[in-house]
Amino acid sequence: MTAPRWRTLDLARGVAVIAMIVFHGLWDASHFGYAPQNLPWTPQVRFFGHAIAFAFLFIAGVALTLANADAIDWPRAARRLARVGAAALLVTFGTWLVFPGAYVFFGILHCIFAASLAGLAFLRAPWPLTLAAALLCFAAPAFLTSETFNASGLMWLGLGTRETLTQDWRPFFPWAGALLLGVAFARAPLPLRRRAAPQAAGEGLRAGALPMNERIAFLGRHSLNIYLLHQPLLFALFSALVFVAPPAPQPTGFLALCERRCVANGESQKTCRALCACTSREATRATGLSEASDDSERRRLLNDISRLCRERLQ
């Protein structure tokens, strides 16, 4: 017998899938040189990406709760966790092959896996307690950060003081809060939740649903497979496009990276261009950079130079 589906969740997840493909299309266009290199790090695109991740985690929390409404179906939960965990490992391996210096070690799938384990513990808890736990997850990075969590085995918690270089970064704190929020929402006595009813896959189409809705719901029902396949397909498409219509050359190196990160922090393009030019110029004159004993010392000196340049430009 086909497992029941919650059509509203399939539609919501399908919309999130479409948004995800658009977001990664923008990222790939930037990576291959068809869009500005700093595009994925602009405030608007970063917010777009965060909203998509929040949606997937929230929906996962609601789905986890509805799937275990009467009693926790441990075999089904174990199968689901195994699929998500295996997919997360596949993403790690695949990105390690392509981006060995910035592979995904705790992205959205890793977070869904870990947060789902935590969510199972709250499926029978009062929904206000789950809501409080979600809020604590959101607040944790502002109050519980420590250098202790910079250790490689603890970095996934998201409470460290050091930035990490990775293609997708969704640490447990604060992102698990989105899934727990979904659990609390599904457990709360809301009219919207009471109206939701499970349907067998395809039932909406037989009942006369709009074809577009059915297509979107189809994407939602197969979101994990689409997640795993869409980026390799997009990469192949852009790789082929490079041979057919190569992109215009774009600036690379320190200045481009500096401006990209500066804009991502909310500064204007004009300010970032001046600040990064000053930092690059002064860094070439600084003897301490070449004499620094390790990367952390070089980063500290470079940050000092950048701070002096900012003061000079103000």
Query: Is the pLDDT confidence value at 15 over 80?
Result: yes
Q: 249-303, pLDDT tens digit by residue?
A: 665 566 777 777 777 777 777 788 888 877 777 776 655 555 555 556 667 777 7
Q: 98-134, pLDDT tens digit by residue?
A: 877 778 999 999 999 999 999 999 999 999 999 999 9
Asked if 42 and 261 count as a contact pair (C-beta separation under 8 A), the reply is no
pTM of the predicted model as reported, rounded to 2 decimal places: 0.77
Asked if 31 and 25 count as a contact pair (C-beta separation under 8 A), the reply is no
pLDDT > 90 in the chain, percent: 54
Q: 160-204, pLDDT tens digit by residue?
A: 988 777 889 999 999 999 999 999 999 998 755 544 455 544 444
Between residues 161 and 3, the one the model is more confident about:
161
Query: Is the pLDDT confidence value at 312 over 60?
Result: yes
Of 149, 157, 41, 142, the closest CA to residue 105 belongs to 157
Q: What is the pLDDT of residue 195?
A: 45
Query: Is the pLDDT confidence value at 151 over 70?
Result: yes
Domain ranges of the chain: 4-244, 254-313
Average pLDDT of 53-61?
A: 98
